[in-house]
């Protein structure tokens, strides 16, 4: 089993048979033609725009939906606003057809909303509206903050239904301000992420729909994965591997993870452990702070910053525990992926973690922002292997039932039909 990420690219550029607004090129992966079959001409076209660049759990979930939609009823069109970064590589590797989005400004959190910016937005909005109408897009399904802000109004003006798939904090500004007016439906990755009720709220049109997971990863060869990891890190079988997996951002609490490892060393200096951190900087400056803390706490020999990895399953399967210190997390993908591959989870008792983990049932929950408590729960798994095995087995069985792709697709397509019929 290899942990190396494939680097070969097989994308080729094609021109779509459908008329596209001037200046918009269509891209397709090799082997996927653009000519429509007559029998499929009445499929409902659904546009999935993405900002591009980094890839996170929201992208994996959304693209899993794209791959799994009924091809007789629906025709998904994936748009990338940027062809740089891991997201494009992931889409190519998965063989997903995609196009380059219209050349417009992508609105991001923190962007100024002044007269100059609004004046620039008008022609962009008209360009996106023209694109949607020319392609006969009936649903626009957005999955990240910048895409909600960029595509919500053009979708409304084009007469398309807009699915606002909320994967962030329940008090996110866009969810509070734009979604009540512009979204046809709001899909939330957990009940925690649902909009708060109020006079101006999208709560009445919101539904909780858990993200889809490839449940086939439950059959991964954990022994082979562990052997590959031991070879890669130069460790022996007696070393406990405690993993962190996620973007380096305040919400994910990578600094708390490092403090947890330091607390473990302080409590059990004789314990052999290694703590790989899989991820990359999401917020400017946080990786420098992370490295400085590793130096300050003297855990350079324990903590390894591994960078972005794909696929993640072998790394998770090779670990003795996944430590999830994230707070106010709407719903973490890696947490469920660890459950599926049989790796026990120790998570902060916060946000969507509480909907996935039952303490001592299918995982362990520690106090949020408390490295000492996280360390105590990790030690419990290490010292009680029978507890770790029981939790891991139960978590895998529950995840297989609750988080399948089929279950997710069934719920989302039912919502598609509802908004189209409205």
Q: Is the pLDDT of residue 237 over 70?
A: yes
419 burial class (0-12, 13-18, 19+ CB within 10 angstroms)? Answer: middle
User: Strand 345-348 relative to strand 321-324: parallel, antiparallel, unpaired?
Assistant: parallel
Q: Is the pLDDT of residue 33 over 90?
A: no
DSSP per residue over 263-288, as a string?
A: HHHHH-TT--EEEEEE--BSSTTHHH
- Give CA–CA dist 248/233, Å, rounded: 21
pLDDT of residue 114: 61
User: Strand 98-100 relative to strand 26-29: parallel, antiparallel, unpaired?
Assistant: antiparallel
pLDDT of residue 31: 34
Q: Is the pLDDT of residue 12 over 60?
A: no
pLDDT of residue 34: 39
pLDDT tens profile 361-404: 999 999 999 999 999 999 999 999 999 999 999 999 999 988 98
What does the pLDDT average to over 196-206? 95
- Give CA–CA dist 23/56, Å, rounded: 29
pLDDT of residue 350: 96
Closest CA relative to residue 417, chosen from 48, 70, 62: 70
- Cα angle at 191 between 143 and 60, to 5 degrees? 30
**Where residue 278 falls among pLDDT bands split at 50, 70, 90?**
very high
pLDDT tens profile 77-136: 999 999 998 999 999 999 999 999 999 999 876 676 666 667 778 999 999 999 999 999
- Give CA–CA dist 149/51, Å, rounded: 11
pLDDT of residue 108: 78
Three-class secondary structure of residue 137 per DSSP: coil
- Give CA–CA dist 339/317, Å, rounded: 9
Global confidence as pTM: 0.77
- Give CA–CA dist 171/320, Å, rounded: 35
Q: Is the pLDDT of residue 356 over 90?
A: yes
Q: Is the pLDDT of residue 20 over 70?
A: no
Is residue 248 within 8 A of residue 287, CB to CB? The reply is yes
Q: Is the pLDDT of residue 202 over 70?
A: yes
Closest CA relative to residue 250, chosen from 169, 192, 305, 306: 169
Integer CA distances (angstroms), 218 to 58, 64, 225, 362, 386, in order: 21, 17, 13, 15, 20
pLDDT of residue 309: 87
DSSP H/E element including 348:
strand 345-348
Q: Is the pLDDT of residue 293 over 70?
A: yes
Q: Is the pLDDT of residue 37 over 80?
A: no
**Where residue 9 falls among pLDDT bands split at 50, 70, 90?**
very low
Mean pLDDT of the residues in the chain: 89
Phi and psi (nearest 5°) for 355? -85, -20
pLDDT of residue 82: 94
pLDDT tens profile 303-348: 999 998 888 999 999 999 999 999 999 988 899 999 999 999 999 9
Q: Is the pLDDT of residue 171 over 70?
A: yes
Q: Which residue shows structure tokens 């660049």?
A: 53
pLDDT of residue 41: 54
Four-residue CA torsion sign, 105, 110, 115, 116: negative
Query: Mind listing the domains of the chain with CATH numbers?
Result: 11-212+404-421 (3.40.50.2000), 215-402 (3.40.50.2000)
CB-CB neighbours of 245 under 10 Å:
24
pLDDT of residue 35: 40
């Amino acid at each position: 089993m290899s942990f190396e990420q494939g680097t070969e690219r097989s994308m080729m550029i094609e021109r779509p048979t459908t008329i596209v607004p001037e200046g918009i090129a269509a891209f397709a992966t090799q082997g996927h033609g653009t000519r429509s079959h007559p029998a499929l001409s009445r499929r409902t076209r659904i546009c999935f725009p993405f900002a591009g660049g980094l890839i996170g759990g929201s992208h994996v979930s959304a693209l899993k939906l794209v791959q799994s939609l009924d091809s007789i009823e629906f025709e998904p069109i994936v748009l990338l606003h940027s062809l740089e970064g891991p997201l494009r590589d992931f889409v190519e590797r998965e063989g997903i057809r995609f196009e380059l989005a219209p050349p417009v400004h992508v609105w991001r959190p923190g962007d100024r909303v002044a007269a100059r910016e609004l004046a620039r937005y008008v022609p962009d909005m008209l360009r996106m509206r023209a694109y949607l109408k020319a392609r006969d897009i009936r649903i626009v399904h957005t999955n990240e903050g910048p895409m909600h802000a960029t595509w919500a109004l053009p979708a409304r003006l084009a007469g398309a239904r807009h699915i606002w798939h909320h994967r962030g904090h329940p008090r996110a500004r866009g969810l509070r301000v734009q979604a009540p007016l512009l979204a046809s439906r709001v899909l939330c990755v957990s009940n925690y992420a649902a909009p708060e009720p109020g006079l101006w709220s999208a709560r009445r049109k919101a539904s909780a729909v858990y993200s889809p997971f490839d449940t086939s990863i439950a059959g991964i060869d954990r022994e082979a994965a562990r052997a590959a990891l031991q070879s890669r890190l130069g460790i022996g079988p007696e070393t406990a591997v405690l993993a962190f997996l996620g973007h380096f951002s305040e919400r994910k609490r990578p600094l708390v993870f490092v403090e947890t490892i330091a607390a473990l060393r302080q409590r059990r200096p004789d314990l052999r452990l290694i703590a790989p951190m899989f991820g990359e900087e999401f917020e400017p400056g946080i990786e420098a702070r992370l490295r400085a803390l590793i130096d300050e706490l003297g855990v350079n020999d324990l903590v390894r910053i591994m960078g972005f990895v794909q696929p993640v399953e072998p790394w998770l399967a090779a670990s003795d525990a996944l430590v999830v210190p994230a707070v106010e997390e709407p719903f973490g993908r890696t947490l469920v992926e660890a459950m599926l591959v049989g790796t026990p989870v120790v998570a902060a008792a916060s946000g969507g973690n509480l909907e996935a983990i039952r303490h001592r049932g299918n995982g362990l929950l520690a106090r949020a922002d408390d490295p000492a408590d996280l360390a105590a729960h990790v030690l419990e798994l290490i010292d009680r292997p029978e507890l770790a095995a029981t939790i891991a087995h139960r978590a895998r069985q529950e995840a297989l039932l609750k988080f399948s792709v089929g279950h997710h697709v069934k719920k989302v397509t039912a919502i598609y039909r509802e908004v189209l019929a409205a």
